[in-house]
Amino acid sequence: MFTRLYPRLRLQISFADLIFSLFSGILKQDSQPPPILKQFQQGDKQVLVTLSVRTAFDLLLQALNLPPGSEVLMSAVNIRDMGEIVRRHGLVLVPIEIDFDTLKPDIQQLEALISPQSKILLVVHLFGTVIDIQPLLEVCQKHQILVIEDCAQAFCGESYCGDPQADVSLFSFGPIKSCTALGSAIASIKDSTLTEQMRQIEASYPQRSELWFYRRVLKYCGLKFLSIPLIYQQLIAVLLKLKLNPDTTINALTRGFSGGDLMAKIRYRPPQGMRQLLWHRLRSFDNLWFKNREAKARLLIANLSPEIVYPGNQTNFHSFWVFPILADNPDLLIQKLRENGFDATRGNTSLTHLQTQSENSGNYLTPEHLSEKIVYLPLSEALPDEEIVRLAQMVNSFLCKPIPA
């Protein structure tokens, strides 16, 4: 048994940033917005900081006040709560299948599903990819459909701050996201009137307390400590000894929103401490950090057998927020990797495949992929190169059949 276990996903925040948050209430703050904010405002867009991407999406739908029965076209692979928000507004969810290799929505299917009731397209950049949404914009502009891009998984510094032509771009800085502020989101909105309506609705919300945020910082200080590989190995050993499922336990601890009524949980303004941490993170991030993470992923890919498939393998832009692969026996692969010092995971229940009416047998990212085959490898910018090579060798030895002599 290895004495260290590389965690499935490292919290992308330093202890120094966490300590900054604990004392932010008594420290003098720089009131100037971070320089990167200008990139979120490209094309005269307005910026709104909210508690979460879910909060921003809900505010948008409230401000639009669409007639009941209006259709929201959505990437079929999506966050479960986004579909729930659509339904709670009395709108009809229309999923569009996603290509496995490019993670782009099927544009032919999109065109076929557009109806007079279609009002919004919500397109998701998955796993750290950034897809070219220009063809989608052209289709939607012809039908006067609002285009929202969900960039919650795609923040990668100054390399991408939203498409200037998208009506709304949403970026998440939740607990497990890149450049996390332990919560909050940025909505970049083209229509200034729509922005003001969203701002007025949000102003009626109660504000999360500073005590709530202080407790949150302490919680993630503890989780950051537990993610140190030597300590993390002991944590997993204890969970297994107690017959607790590591996936269920860790996902519950890192989930941005726990159970209960979704709308009641998201309809808050972010506390001032969280906004200060977001501004601090956006001032101090290093673009080279994202380049280093991508380089680590490219090293892993170079050492994986060509037989190993992963979604988004033909995307032009990938920052590798996470690295999923497909395995016919994912639980056994996870067990073997864990025995050799790598804590892979099946993921959590927030990402789902929305039911479609498609009868095509295209090369799509399917419900079966997400529920039965997907495994997220524990890749991070901190993983030593020699360990990345060893991880690839472990995956190859398990998934690749030996070539007959």
Query: How is 89-152 classified by DSSP, letter by letter?
Result: TTPEEEEE-BBTTT--B-HHHHHHH--TTEEEEEEE--TTB----HHHHHHHHHTT-EEEEE-T
What does each C-alpha distance from 401 to 185, 396, 404 come to in angstroms? 44, 9, 9
Copy the structure tokens of residue 174: 């939740």
- State how far the Cα of 326 lies from the Cα of 316, in Å rounded to an integer: 21
Burial class for 118, CB neighbours closer than 10 Å (0-12, 13-18, 19+): buried
Is 177 in the active site? yes
* Tokens, residue 315: 């995307």
pLDDT tens profile 125-169? 999 999 999 999 999 999 999 999 999 999 999 999 999 999 999
Catalytic site residue from 104, 119, 177, 296:
177
What is the band of 401 on the pLDDT scale with cuts at 50, 70, 90? low
Q: Please state whether 104 falls in left (phi above 0), alpha (psi between -120 and 50) or beta.
A: beta
How much is the pTM? 0.93
Residue 300, sorted as left (phi over 0), alpha (psi -120 to 50) or beta, turns out to be alpha
Tell me: pLDDT of 405 over 70: no
Q: Identify the band that residue 31 occupies on the pLDDT scale cut at 50, 70 and 90.
A: low
pLDDT band at 301 (very low <50, low <70, confident <90, very high): very high
How many other CB atoms are found less than 10 A from the CB of residue 58? Answer: 25
Mean pLDDT, the chain, rounded, equals 92
Domains and CATH numbers, the chain: 26-203 (3.40.640.10), 220-258+286-399 (3.90.1150.10)
> pLDDT tens digits for 67-102?
999 999 999 999 999 999 999 999 999 999 999 999
- Is the Cβ–Cβ distance between 21 and 277 less than 8 Å? yes
Residue type present at position 94? V
Q: Give, as one character, the DSSP assignment of residue 37.
A: H
